[in-house]
């Protein structure tokens, strides 16, 4: 039996202010206050799990226990089946400490060579309560990789990803169009249906 969110305050277990704003926008109809882990001075746990959901649950649970409030965390990345699922949970780490995604995209291109360009983005969302209960969902968008990358919108691996049925990369697309079909949109739709009564 899934648990419904009640109350007016949801901690966003992220130290990335852009992500906090985006989540507050997406759930603004259901929740009044969105303190972030950074605003509450909560520690940032290391992502030690081996799956997206594992890492999202670890972050959400740590924030819920430390704050005494329900907390939401996400974890996302790009999966290339021909690379054995890489970069996967290491998607951010492939860009190095400079967070240079041209380096990460070049590594994908080099390792893939003329292998199958099929790929998908995953977004895991976990909502945890201080008593340890957790609800988790995983959203996906399937597509293929194109080289060289195209477009200067979006972030991360957007320039090399074309969703199924489209010709433009995520970095060429209007942001509203990307947000309507992305892995994040899919995950939020599932979470709202399950926990926010949408």
What is the rounded CA–CA span in Å between residue 17 and residue 23? 10
Candidate residues 40, 92, 134, 192; the one interacting with ligand IMP per rule CB under 6 A:
92
What is the rounded CA–CA span in Å between residue 9 and residue 68? 11
**Minimum separation from the CB atom of position 77 to ligand IMP (A):** 4
The size of the interface with ligand IMP (CB under 6 A), counted in residues, is 15
78 interacts with ligand IMP by CB under 6 A: yes
The catalytic site residues sit at 75
For 161, how many CA atoms within 13 A lie in the half-sphere containing its CB?
26
- Restricting to residues 178-197, name those near ligand IMP by CB under 6 A: 182
- Restricting to residues 149-178, name those near ligand IMP by CB under 6 A: 154-158, 170
Q: Identify which of residues 10 and 78 has a Cβ nearer to ligand IMP in the complex.
A: 78
What is the rounded CA–CA span in Å between residue 183 and residue 141? 5
- Among candidate residues 61, 7, 75, 71, the one with its CA nearest the CA of residue 39: 71
Q: Identify which of residues 130 and 154 has a Cβ nearer to ligand IMP in the complex.
A: 154
36 interacts with ligand IMP by CB under 6 A: no
Q: Identify which of residues 4 and 140 has a Cβ nearer to ligand IMP in the complex.
A: 140
Residue 3's φ and ψ, nearest 5 degrees, are -100, 140
Q: Which residues contact 53 (CB under 8 A, 6 or more apart)?
A: 75, 124, 126, 136, 138
Q: Identify which of residues 83 and 92 has a Cβ nearer to ligand IMP in the complex.
A: 92
Q: Give residues in contact with ligand IMP (CB under 6 A).
A: 74-78, 91-92, 121, 154-158, 170, 182
């Amino acid at each position: 039996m899934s648990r419904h969110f009640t109350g007016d305050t949801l901690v966003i277990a992220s130290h990335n202010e852009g992500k906090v704003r985006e989540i507050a926008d997406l759930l603004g109809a259901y929740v009044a206050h969105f303190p972030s882990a950074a605003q509450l001075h909560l520690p940032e746990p290391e992502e030690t799990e081996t799956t997206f959901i594992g890492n999202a649950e670890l972050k959400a649970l740590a924030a819920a226990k430390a704050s005494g409030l329900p907390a939401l965390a996400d974890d996302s990345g790009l999966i290339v089946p021909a690379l054995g699922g890489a970069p996967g949970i290491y998607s951010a780490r492939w860009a190095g400490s400079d967070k240079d995604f041209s380096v990460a995209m070049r590594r994908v291109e080099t390792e893939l060579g003329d292998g199958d360009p099929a790929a998908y983005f995953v977004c895991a969302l976990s909502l945890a309560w201080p008593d340890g209960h957790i609800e988790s969902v995983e959203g996906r968008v399937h597509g293929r990789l194109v080289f060289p990358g195209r477009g200067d919108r979006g972030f991360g691996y957007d320039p090399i990803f074309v969703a199924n049925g489209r010709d433009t990369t995520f970095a060429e697309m209007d942001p509203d169009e990307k947000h309507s079909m992305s892995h994040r949109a899919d995950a939020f739709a599932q979470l709202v249906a399950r926990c926010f009564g949408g």
